[in-house]
Structure 1
Amino acid sequence: MTLRFAAIGLDHRHVYHLVGGLIDAGAICVAYDPATSDHRVLAGFRERFPALPEVTDRRRLLEDPSIDAICIAAVPSDRADIAIAAMRQGKDVMVDKPGVTSPVQLAEIERVVRETGRIFSICFSERFVVPATEVAGDLIAAGAIGRVVQTLGLGPHRLNRPIRPDWFFDPARYGGILADIGSHQIDQFLHFTGSTDARIVSSAVGNVGTPETPAFQDFGEILLRSDQATGYIRVDWFTAHGLPTWGDGRMVILGTEGTIELRKYVDIDGRPGTDHVFLVNREGTRHIDGSTAPLRYFRNFIADVRDRTETAMAQRHVFTVSRLALEAQAAAQRLTLKPHDR
């Protein structure tokens, strides 16, 4: 079986990862719906995938029985409805994060998955398109740092305000900073610690540096715990323009016999390139170039569609990450930091 898929919802640049990852893994993109809230995303898609046909009536894609799956990177608040429509047409779905922006949407997605037996997969790109995370997972599985007891996840992003669409600044449409980019870090906490669930101990959000958009949340933090480990998460929109990439994403994994640090996108004062893995254990210190590690998510998703398995990611994991992110967002204390005198 060669998986045939279509793309609907070209509102976020992560659609490039979804479509490109599946094509690289051997799937065929049949067509895409060019509807978008950001013409720059559409222009970039056309540049990357010039041979793909456009279908302006998305119902044709949803109802086409030859299409196995739908990729979705729409405005976050719209993703659940598209996914539900696709699953009701017998299609599996791969959604950009966040896959849902409210508990009501999550409950409906869970109900439709139970009723249809379809796959609802969220591509947490800070794990699934980062080779360094594959290396870290393999090291942990091999016992390189003992039992994992804590993770520290940092997810800074560059704001790039002039190129952001209006919905980007509206929490009702993007879900809030913890439901959105915080979900990446919750996914990694559960994955690296081997936890099937967790509880939110505390969370906070704030607008501490962008007063011109007061509803926007530019900073967030979460403290969470499971029966396996504890974790701290910080996400923000303060990456400086001097950094040669969009964010200095880091993950520090503490084990009983060592630590792993991932510098995913840049080594700010050293080696060139991405996917730097630093290992410290009883054998010493080591730098590992993780950039050539194979990405497994997309090919595993294709296998899951074919075999009705859960090798890419357990369906329960998707729901748990989404629920915890929504709980953290709903319970978040609003930070009010006094500005410094200049």
Structure 2
Amino acid sequence: MPHDNPLTRRAFVVGSAGALAAAAPLPAMSWARVPRANARLRLGLIGAGGRGRYVMSFFQKDPELDVVAVCDVYDANRDQAIAKAPGARPYGDYRQLLDAKDVDAVLIATPDHWHAPIAVDAMRAGKDVYVEKPLAHSAEEGRRIVRAQKETGRVVQVGLQQRSGPHYLQAKQEYIDTKRLGKIVYVRTWWHGNAARVVRPPWTTQPAGLDWKQWLGPARARPFDPKMVVNWRSYFDFGGGTITDLFTHWIDVAHWYVGEDLPAAAGAMGGIYQYADGRDAPDTVNVLLDYPGGWSASFAASLAPGATGAGVELLGTEGTLYIDRGRFVYTPTQKDAPPVTVPWPGDQTEQHVANFLACVRSRGTPNSDVVSGYRSCLTTLLAKQSYVEKRRVAFDPARERASLSD
């Protein structure tokens, strides 16, 4: 489709990786803790379930990288990962993997409640970190990760892969940075359906090779429950449902495009209307956020059978921009002007991993840096708090910024 400022997909892939991997001043740290110049990078995977193995496959596209270690508390996951990375050493305890001197960086793809402990320990062990979203399971955990990154100078990429997506970058450059939407007053987001939250457990009793105590980790102790293992996102001790999982992706796009990343208030309503199987997180929810800069954002999600579709729509005084992982559509307010559609068939995870590895080598700041990743996570945690407490949650952005400036 024609559009006003055509840029090839190749230009965006190369341009974004090059610009964001540009060398930044090295933080004060020992050269021994920086990956060796002109040497192969060595990766350790922590959390070898389906998502971990999938993201690992993009790391393996780098011809100068080796997966040397795999950790999971379930041996079947470890075995499947090692089958894809022959020669990698297996671990059941992530701390043993972090002790390994031949691991330069780690990919963390565990349930949410393990993100902060592992990420902080990894940075303090001298490893660079690619961590799946949401960055943390609580606001204090998020602040702890941000402070650890500041203290250690490690490269941290949060798995909010839209920030590396060529068509996301193109849409931002052509329609957001040029103010062609005018003032953005409302960002509408939605994500209906998602099979990862309604998985049928493959076992009824604890399988051999699964360390349940280690799987629980910092969460409170309880008897083994197979539903919690396969649908952990739907239990507040381990995840935050669609609010902290899926909404984190979309509100991160809104923050990035609008240029404001801390709300003044959050509200959420919903419930467990379809899947009353012991889960805490709602299967249907509506979220509303208010920002000091004079705009609002919303999120709607339902796991009801037949509910489908996901996207972000930014409504401005001069036009509207719709974007999802496969395309964007710009619609000007002028009735006689046609909409502009730009497709992008692909997976932004590949570009996101490439950006992280470029920054590991250059010591630059990755696309989804630790502060922006934390603030998008924090925003969804406020919405989760509103849902749990059944009230509007007010928030002070100035106080939050001050808490990380010391």
TM-score by length of 1: 0.79
Quick one: which of 267, 271, 288 aligns to 1:202? 267
Instruction: Find the aligned partners of 2:380 and 2:130 in 1 and give their Cα distance.
Output: 18
Which residue in the other structure is 1:276 paired with? 327
User: Which digits, 9 at most, give the CA deviation of each residue in 1:27-55, with x for residues without a partner?
Assistant: 5142232424594x6576456x2546242
Which residue in the other structure is 1:338 paired with? none
Q: For residues 93-172 of structure 1, what are the structure 2 equivalents within 5 Å?
A: 93-125=129-161, 127-128=162-163, 132-140=167-175, 141-156=177-192, 157-158=194-195, 159-163=197-201, 165-167=227-229, 168=232, 169-172=234-237
Instruction: Find the aligned partners of 2:145 and 2:247 in 1 and give their Cα distance.
Output: 20
Instruction: Find the aligned partners of 1:236 and 1:193 in 2 and give their Cα distance.
Output: 26
Which residue in the other structure is 2:323 paired with? 262
Which residue in the other structure is 1:33 paired with? 70
Quick one: which of 21, 27, 42 aligns to 1:4? 42
> Counterpart of 1:10 in structure 2: which amino acid?
A
Structure having the higher helix fraction is 2
Instruction: Find the aligned partners of 1:77 and 1:118 in 2 and give their Cα distance.
Output: 21
Which residue in the other structure is 2:303 paired with? 237
Instruction: Find the aligned partners of 2:42 and 2:142 in 1 and give their Cα distance.
Output: 26
Instruction: Find the aligned partners of 1:184 and 1:170 in 2 and give their Cα distance.
Output: 19
Pairing 1:298–2:353 present: yes
User: Which digits, 9 at most, give the CA deviation of each residue in 1:64-99, with x for residues without a partner?
Assistant: 334221100112111211111111101121111122
2:237 is paired with a residue whose SS is: helix
Are the aligned partners of 1:195 and 1:228 in contact in 2 as well (CA < 8 Å)?
no
Which residue in the other structure is 2:52 paired with? 15
1:217 is paired with a residue whose SS is: coil
Superposition deviation, residue 178 in structure 1: 2.0
Q: Bigger CA drift: 70-79 or 207-216?
A: 207-216
Which residue in the other structure is 1:220 paired with? 285
Superposition deviation, residue 317 in structure 1: 0.9
TM-score by length of 2: 0.68
| Uncovered stretches (5+) of structure 1, i.e. residues with no partner | 265-274, 336-342
Pairing 1:318–2:384 present: no
Instruction: Find the aligned partners of 1:43 and 1:37 in 2 and give their Cα distance.
Output: 9
Instruction: Find the aligned partners of 2:244 and 2:342 in 1 and give their Cα distance.
Output: 32
2:186 is paired with a residue whose SS is: strand
Structure having the higher strand fraction is 1
Superposition deviation, residue 279 in structure 1: 2.1
Are the aligned partners of 2:261 and 2:376 in contact in 1 as well (CA < 8 Å)?
no
2:300 is paired with a residue whose SS is: strand
User: Which digits, 9 at most, give the CA deviation of each residue in 1:177-206, with x for residues without a partner?
Assistant: 422332222212201212142233312342
> Counterpart of 1:300 in structure 2: which amino acid?
N
Which residue in the other structure is 1:78 paired with? 114
Instruction: Find the aligned partners of 1:230 and 1:27 in 2 and give their Cα distance.
Output: 44
Structure having the higher Rg? 2
Pairing 1:252–2:316 present: no
| Uncovered stretches (5+) of structure 2, i.e. residues with no partner | 1-37, 202-225, 391-406
Are the aligned partners of 1:70 and 1:93 in contact in 2 as well (CA < 8 Å)?
yes
Superposition deviation, residue 142 in structure 1: 4.5
Instruction: Find the aligned partners of 1:311 and 1:86 in 2 and give their Cα distance.
Output: 17
Give the count of matched residue pairs: 316
User: Which digits, 9 at most, give the CA deviation of each residue in 1:272-314, with x for residues without a partner?
Assistant: xxx1322212541232222269764323222332333324133
Which residue in the other structure is 1:174 paired with? 239
